[in-house]
Each structure stands twice: as structure tokens, then as C-alpha cells.
Amino acid sequence: MADQPNVLVVGAGIIGASIAYHLAKAGARVAIIEAGQPGGVATRRSWAWINASWGNPEIYFRLRIRSMAEWRRLEREVPGLGVAWVGGLIWDLPTNELEAYAVEHAAWGYGIRRVDRAAAARIEPQLASPPEFSLHVAEEGSVEPLAAAHALLAAARSIGVQVIANRPVRALTRHNGRVVGVETDAGTIAADEIVAAAGAETAALVASAGIALPLDSPPGLLIASKPHPKLLNGLVMSPGLHVRQTTEGRLLGGADFGGGDPGVDAAATSRDLFEVMRGMFKDGASLAYEYHTLGYRPMPGDGFPIVGRAPKIDGLYVAVLHSGITLAPAVGLFAAEEIMTGARNALLEPYGPERFGGSN
């Protein structure tokens, strides 16, 4: 590869935007191409919780906690990123599981504090029924996901990245066992390296080069109120509903951090979920429903990121994952380092695409 490689990133969601930004900082010539408007599909429909919370093995926790630190580095570099380190209050697990989570993650260095009803009421005074027992992690945060992706893209443009919008990529182009570009309706775009960061469309894209990736795209339902005076200080993860308040004042909620099952009638499900949201707050009756969104989240077969060079074919790097908001800064930094130098960060070691067996 040339000293200043020409890299094309397919997908302008937050993962693609972060990779493009970090590649340009590292000295690559970079273009990023998006089928629709910059900002991607899954990114703009994310609940956008930045965390290293429960349910994962320690090796994955280490990647997530590193990426939380990289968010703090990135917000110093990128104007308008808008990270809100507001903390998270969680009680959406049975008490014994909450306690096990607290013991385990505290031992790993996560800043968990056990909270009784009175303390929960102090943290979130507008809750109608504060939980008897919950956990609070002050270091968790959130972003407005589309705005953050746009801020990253703007920073990337400022250092030379070309952003190509409304240009679907139909297939990867190969020559002599190497991916050398992409096919679009406007013709072929050549590059020294292609980064496939197209979210749920990544599996179909890399399949055109003979690479098989187990990737699902389950729907995630989010509901939003009309803008309302402040009801929440931070993120709230209650049984059946996770809620945060956006910078515009909307209450944004889903059945879990990825959204929730829309059922057979997403509109009806969203109305039912909105009534649950109203019941959470002392002033909930004043909340007015505004809209729901239905996004399709890229979900690798084993639930963990797929980040690394494609097996058995040169010129192709893959970056597809759920928890894209939390992991975007670290994945962008580590992917750029690997593409530019060949050095793979140890935190990515378990997550290469070769673990799924490689080519068709």
C-alpha cells in the first residue's frame, strides 16, 4: 500500500465517520460514501447510551471502557460533538442480578454506586416511584447520535475527507484476489483499501467479494415525546423502559438500550410504551406523544463486534457492530492504526471477521 493510501469508507454512520476522521488524521487520503444522507441509518435511530454496563465478559468491558475514555479525548478534538456525561440510574434487573453486576463491575474498576429509594429520588426527583434499590454510574453519558455523526463528518471534511452522499454501493470490485474499489450507479470508484462500515448492509456488501458474515438486523422501536421542560437529569434504565431526555427536551425511550420489539403494529406498541413513559414521572400527564422510529440494528451472529481485515482477500477491512455509539471512538482509532500500520490493538483481537470462517 502507498505511504499515503487512498481509502474509501462505505457507510457514513458514526462508525464510518469515526474511521474516516481517524484515517485522515493518520495521513490517509480518504473518501466516505453513503447510500443516503450522511449520518447513516442505525445511528440516527439509536438511543445513544455511552456505557460499559452489565451483561458482557470482562474482555469486552475493557474495550467499552477504553472507548468511553476515547469519547473524552474525541470531544476535546471535535467541535460540537456534544457528549453529556449525565450518569445512568439502572434497576431493570432483579435485585440479585443487580447486586452481582455491582460486585463484578466494581471489581473491574467501573464506578458503580448502590442507591436506595431516597438517593434515587435525589438523583431523579421527578420519578413517580423511585426504586427501592438501584445502581448509579456517574461516568456514563449520551450524545445526540445524528448530531455527533455530523460533527465527526465535519471534522473529517476539515482535514480533507471527501463525503459522497446519496450514492449506493452495489458491489465490491476485485482484481487478482484483491478488493480494488466499489461499483456504483455512477461507475467504479477505485481505492487502495475499502472499509465496509455500512451497518446492516455490510453483510450483503462483503458477500459480493465472497465473504460470509453472520449478521442480523433486528428492529428497534424508540418513542419520543414533544419537547418538555426538564424531567430527567440523566439516563434511566427501568424495567421495561429506558428513557433519556434529549438536548431539545424530548423524552426518548425504548424497551431496552437498542430500542425494543415493535410487535405486529409498531404504532400501537409505541402508544402503549408511551403510556408507560408517562406513568414514570410525577408530571407525566403533561407529556405529549410526538413520534416513533423503527431502526434496524446491525447485530453480528455472536453479539460482538466484527472489526478487522477480511480473511483470504486483500484490500478489505470490515467494521460492523451493535453498540456503535459507545464504541465509535475506539473502533475509529484502532481501525485507522491497523489500516495504516498493520498493527492490531490487543483490545480488538477477539473480534476479527476470521472467527466466522472466512470466505464462501
Q: What is the pLDDT of residues 130-166, one digit of tens each?
A: 999 999 999 999 999 999 999 999 999 999 999 999 9
222/134 same-domain check? yes
Query: Is 56 inside a domain boundary?
Result: no
206/314 same-domain check? yes
230/134 same-domain check? yes
263/164 same-domain check? no
Percent of the chain at pLDDT > 90 equals 89
126/228 same-domain check? yes
Which pLDDT does position 291 carry in this prediction?
95
Report the CATH number at residue 126: 3.30.9.10
Please identify, among 256, 280, 296, the residue that sits at the C-terminal boundary of a domain. 296
Residue 174: domain span:
6-47+146-214+301-356
Which pLDDT does position 151 carry in this prediction?
97
Q: What is the pLDDT of residues 343-357, one digit of tens each?
A: 999 999 999 999 997
CB-CB contact of 110 with 64 (8 Å): no
Tell me, rounded to whole angstroms, the distance of Cα 127 from its chain centroid: 27
pLDDT greater at residue 267 or residue 264: 267
CB-CB contact of 212 with 198 (8 Å): no
208/232 same-domain check? no
CB-CB contact of 117 with 75 (8 Å): no
Find the mean pLDDT for residues 179-192.
Answer: 97
> Measured between alpha carbons, how far is 27 from 217 in angstroms, rounded to an integer?
34
155/291 same-domain check? no
Report the CATH number at residue 307: 3.50.50.60
User: Is a pLDDT exceeding 60 seen at residue 186?
Assistant: yes
Q: What is the pLDDT of residues 62-121, one digit of tens each?
A: 999 999 999 999 999 999 999 999 999 999 999 999 999 999 999 999 999 999 999 999
Question: What does pTM read for this prediction?
Answer: 0.96
Question: Among 300, 283, 266, which residue's Cα sits nearest to residue 232?
Answer: 283
Nearby residues of 60 by Cβ (< 8 Å), 6 or more positions away: 304, 350
Which pLDDT does position 255 carry in this prediction?
83
C-alpha separations of 70 from 76, 213, 334 in Å: 10, 28, 11
User: Is a pLDDT exceeding 70 seen at residue 257?
Assistant: no
193/315 same-domain check? yes
Q: Long-range CB contacts (< 8 A, 24+ apart) of 161-165?
A: 161/20, 161/21, 161/24, 161/30, 161/31, 161/32, 162/30, 162/31, 162/32, 163/12, 163/31, 163/32, 163/34, 163/38, 164/31, 164/32, 164/33, 164/34, 165/12, 165/34, 165/36, 165/37, 165/38
Helices 58-77 and 324-341 meet at what angle, rounded to 10?
80
225/292 same-domain check? yes
Which pLDDT does position 120 carry in this prediction?
98
Query: Is 171 inside a domain boundary?
Result: yes
Helices 145-158 and 14-25 meet at what angle, rounded to 10?
20
258/231 same-domain check? yes
Question: What's the domain count of the chain?
Answer: 2
Which pLDDT does position 360 carry in this prediction?
52
150/292 same-domain check? no
Please identify, among 296, 316, 340, the residue that sits at the C-terminal boundary of a domain. 296
User: Is a pLDDT exceeding 90 seen at residue 336?
Assistant: yes
% helix / strand / coil in the chain, to the nearest 5?
Answer: 35, 30, 40
Q: What is the pLDDT of residues 2-30, one digit of tens each?
A: 578 999 999 999 999 999 999 999 999 99
279/306 same-domain check? no
Which pLDDT does position 258 carry in this prediction?
59
